[in-house]
Structure formats: C-alpha cells, structure tokens
Chains A and B, each alone.
Chain A
Amino acid sequence: MSNHHHTHGHAEASHLSDMDVRVRALETLLTRKGYVDPAALDRIIEIYETEVGPRNGAHVVAKAWSDSTFHDWLLQDATAAINSLGYSGRQGEHMVAVANTPEVHNMVVCTLCSCYPWPILGLPPVWYKSAAYRAKAVMDPRGVLADFRVTLPEQIKLRVWDSTAEVRYLVLPMRPPGTEHLSEEQLALRVTRNSMIGTGLALTEPV
C-alpha cells in the first residue's frame, strides 16, 4: 500500500514537471519564431490574476440589488449594463443575466467545453471544467447542488442554461434577507463566485 502511494506520488510529480517542460518548450519556440511576445504573456496573466475576476461580477450583482434601474437594464440588456461598469470583451461579448426568484433557481454550465463569462468571473475553477460537472449539471442539477451542500425547497424549479454558443450567462442571485441597510460595497462582499454560476447562494452572514 505504501509502495503504491509512493509510486503514485512520483508519477504525479514527474507528470507536473513534464507539463512544465512541455509548455516552456512551446512558449520558447513560439517566442523565437516571433509569434508571441513574452511581455504580452506576462500582462495577460497579470490581468487575470489582479484585474479580471469574480469581484467584477459581485460589483454587477450588488449594483443590481441596490439600483432598480440598473437591475432592469441588466435583465434587459446585460452586455450594455455590464459594459457601463467597465467590464467587457473576451468571453463576455454577448451577456445575458438570469435572475433567481423564490420560484426559480438558475444554474449555468458548458457541457461541450468550458465557456464561462471571463470579464465578470475571471477564469473558471477546475470543477466547472470537470467531466463530473459538465455531465451531471443538465441531468441531475439537484444532485449537483447537493455536491455543493446547497439544498433548496423542493417546489423551487431548477433552470439549467447550457452555454453552447457565444452567449455567456450571469446568474443574478437573490439578495439575502436582512441586508436592506447595507451599502453597495457591503453587498458585494455577500456575492460569491458560485452564487453567480448557480452552484451557490449569496451569503446570509458577512464573511
């Protein structure tokens, strides 16, 4: 048994370094050929590490909770409403926002690859791209919610959006009760990434 673990651990480690070598070799070759600029690659990474992530989406949701005009605009024309806050572009060119209500809970998946609204949620987590999620979300969304330890009353309808085209979906989670007094900034802290995908709910308690 310990032998098996040892072998397994070794395989994992060498696999990681295989990929490290493989990616480095490819990047070096493409750079030498003049197809890519390493400084541009650094900047791309910096953008998704520091500027484009789920805080953008939380801003959108908190604004929709606090401003009914923006709320209605978001549901009518999400691309324009989101753009007005400065978020646009790659993998968010055509946005649709879908609102959770006491009757309906929405969940977003891409069964064919890993389509995800980058400008407002950043890069997708591993589970979103996993076979388990892509396979199960459209057939057993209640089971997926259970995997995330989310239980909804049985009468709530589940609505799954499989993003098979270039339309990207944002779930507008329900505003938690008892948050009427909170500012937009405080509300944004209650919005989790998963609540905007539909595998979670907004936080009822401050973090």
Chain B
Amino acid sequence: MNGVHDMGGMQGFGRVMPEADEPLFHAPWESRAMAVTVAMGASGQWNIDLARYARETLPPSIYLSSSYYELWIRALEQLTLERGMVTARELSSGQIQDPPLPVARVLKLDTVDAALAAGSPTLRKATSPARYALGQLVRTRNIHPQDHTRLPRYVRGHTGKVVMVHGAHVYPDNHVDRPLPPFNTNAEWLYTVVFDATELWGEAADPQVQVSVDAWEPYLEEVLL
C-alpha cells in the first residue's frame, strides 16, 4: 500500500532530533504498551506482517501524529477487534461481555524468556533455485499493491545490484493473505539489492552514497544487457 508509513525520501520532516540521555520509556504506559503488544503477538492470532499492516492502515493523519507506542496500541485494538477477541463495548467499558476466544498460546511468566530468545525465524527451505546471483543487475518492479508489501516506493522501477542472497524467507505479501491461522507462509528468495543514490534520486545526488533494500524475488525482474 502506498501509505504514509512508506517514508523513504519524503521531505519536510525537518532535522533528526536525538534526545540526550533518552530514557528507555517516556511514560509508564509506554512500557505496558510494549509488553502487551509483544505478549499478544504470542497469541498466534496474527503474524508480524498482519501487525505491520494494521499499523499501516491506520488513518494517515493518526499515523503521522502518533508516537510509535501509540500506533502499536491503536493497531492492537484493531487486531483484537477485527478477530472478535474483544468488542467495542468491552473496550469502552472494560467489562467482559463475550467469553474469550481460544488462542494458540498465552505467554506466561515462565515462558517469556524462552519465547523471546527463540524469536520467529523466517528462513525456510527453498523449493526452487535462486533466480538471481551475487553481482547480477536486477530491476525492481514498478508495482503498487493495494495491501501489505515490503518494497518501498523510492526503489521501485530502479536498477541495482544483488550483493547478498539470504535464502528463502516467508514472503510478506502472502503472509497477510489470511487474517487468521493457518497463515500463508510461502517463502521466496530474499536478496540485498544495492542502488547508487544517483539512480534513485537523480544526477544531483551524492555520487558517494549507495542505498540497499532487502527484496524478495517477486519484487525483481531481470535486466537485459
């Protein structure tokens, strides 16, 4: 989706403002927001791409004016509402009205450490050979999917070079096909593709700058020499 979350190359946001001695959390609610988001991710009722998609589809004005943990909370409300895990009335009243739905897993005190240490690897066994090789020139497709994709706008339709081949990873564009498990975990070859800044931003760009993205094979097409 060509949403406001796809920020690479946008202008007008001003300078980057690092905060001296920044605290880990700026208010107690931020720590709870982080933890409840991580814990609910373990429920298995959505996956990382569906969670990202929920944030990306928040209204643009909300997205741009909210802190990151606020985005997480708004998306978490959406994710649980859409699945009927909570109702709007329950959210506003705080009182349970409908019984809970079954979930794949509830993170408990004694399972937190192991769950975080394990993470959710996305590498899968490849079912076909990689189409592109290290050093090969490729072009990113000029595509504008309506829903979730991880190909940023600023690289679309540009020619770059494959500098890493990462194996086959779960393909985000398919990972959001179904809102509930079992998810479509189709994996596609993943490459790091590097572009000259002049290819992305024109002749006035700094010739000493290069930018890469990690791009799945369906995002790429061959460059005929």
A111 proximal to B (CB < 8 A): yes
A66 proximal to B (CB < 8 A): no
Residues of B within 8 A of A23 (CB): 29, 32-33, 36, 73
* Structural contact, B208 and A165, CB atoms closer than 8 A: no
A 130-147 binary contact with B (CB < 8 Å = 1; else 0):
111111111101111001
Residues of B within 8 A of A134 (CB): 7-8
* Structural contact, B36 and A136, CB atoms closer than 8 A: no
Within the complex, the shortest CB–CB distance from B167 to chain A, in Å, comes to 9
* Structural contact, B68 and A44, CB atoms closer than 8 A: no
Residues of A within 8 A of B64 (CB): 131
Residues of B within 8 A of A96 (CB): 164
Given A25-B91, A30-B40, A112-B5, does the pair A35, B85 have CB atoms closer than 8 Å?
A: yes
* Structural contact, A131 and B13, CB atoms closer than 8 A: yes
B118 proximal to A (CB < 8 A): yes
* Structural contact, A165 and B214, CB atoms closer than 8 A: yes
Within the complex, the shortest CB–CB distance from A84 to chain B, in Å, comes to 14
Report which of A29, A127, A148, A156 forms a contact with B96, defined as CB distance below 8 A: A29
Report which of A16, A133, A161 forms a contact with B212, defined as CB distance below 8 A: A161
Given A130-B16, A134-B8, A139-B9, does the pair A90, B119 have CB atoms closer than 8 Å?
A: yes
Interface stretch, picked from B108-116, B125-133, B178-186, is B108-116
Q: State A148–B94 Cα separation when bound (angstroms).
A: 44
Given A90-B119, A126-B19, A134-B7, does the pair A33, B96 have CB atoms closer than 8 Å?
A: yes
A129 proximal to B (CB < 8 A): yes
Interface residue ranges of B72-130 to A (CB < 8 Å): 73, 76-77, 80, 85-86, 90-91, 94, 96, 100, 103, 106-109, 111-113, 115-123
Residue of B nearest to A52 (CB): B116
A184 proximal to B (CB < 8 A): no
A11 proximal to B (CB < 8 A): no
Within the complex, the shortest CB–CB distance from A162 to chain B, in Å, comes to 5
* Structural contact, B152 and A162, CB atoms closer than 8 A: yes
* Structural contact, A126 and B86, CB atoms closer than 8 A: no
Within the complex, the shortest CB–CB distance from A46 to chain B, in Å, comes to 9
B156 proximal to A (CB < 8 A): no
Interface residue ranges of A75-129 to B (CB < 8 Å): 88-94, 96, 109, 111-114, 122-123, 125-127, 129
Q: List 26 A-B contacts (CB under 8 A).
A: A19-B29, A26-B77, A29-B91, A35-B43, A35-B85, A39-B109, A41-B32, A47-B112, A49-B24, A91-B119, A94-B121, A111-B152, A112-B8, A112-B152, A136-B13, A137-B8, A156-B208, A158-B206, A159-B212, A160-B209, A162-B8, A162-B212, A164-B150, A165-B190, A165-B214, A167-B190
Given contacts A44-B35, A139-B154, 19 further A-B contacts (CB under 8 A): A16-B27, A20-B27, A20-B28, A30-B40, A34-B106, A35-B100, A35-B106, A41-B36, A44-B112, A125-B22, A130-B17, A134-B8, A138-B9, A158-B209, A159-B209, A164-B213, A167-B190, A194-B18, A199-B18
- Nearest first, the 7 closest Cβ-Cβ pairs linking A and B are A111-B8, A165-B214, A41-B35, A89-B119, A132-B13, A135-B10, A44-B35
- Residues of A in contact with B (beta carbons under 8 Å apart): 16, 19-20, 22-30, 32-37, 39-45, 47-49, 52-53, 88-94, 96, 109, 111-114, 122-123, 125-127, 129-139, 141-144, 147-148, 154-167, 194, 199
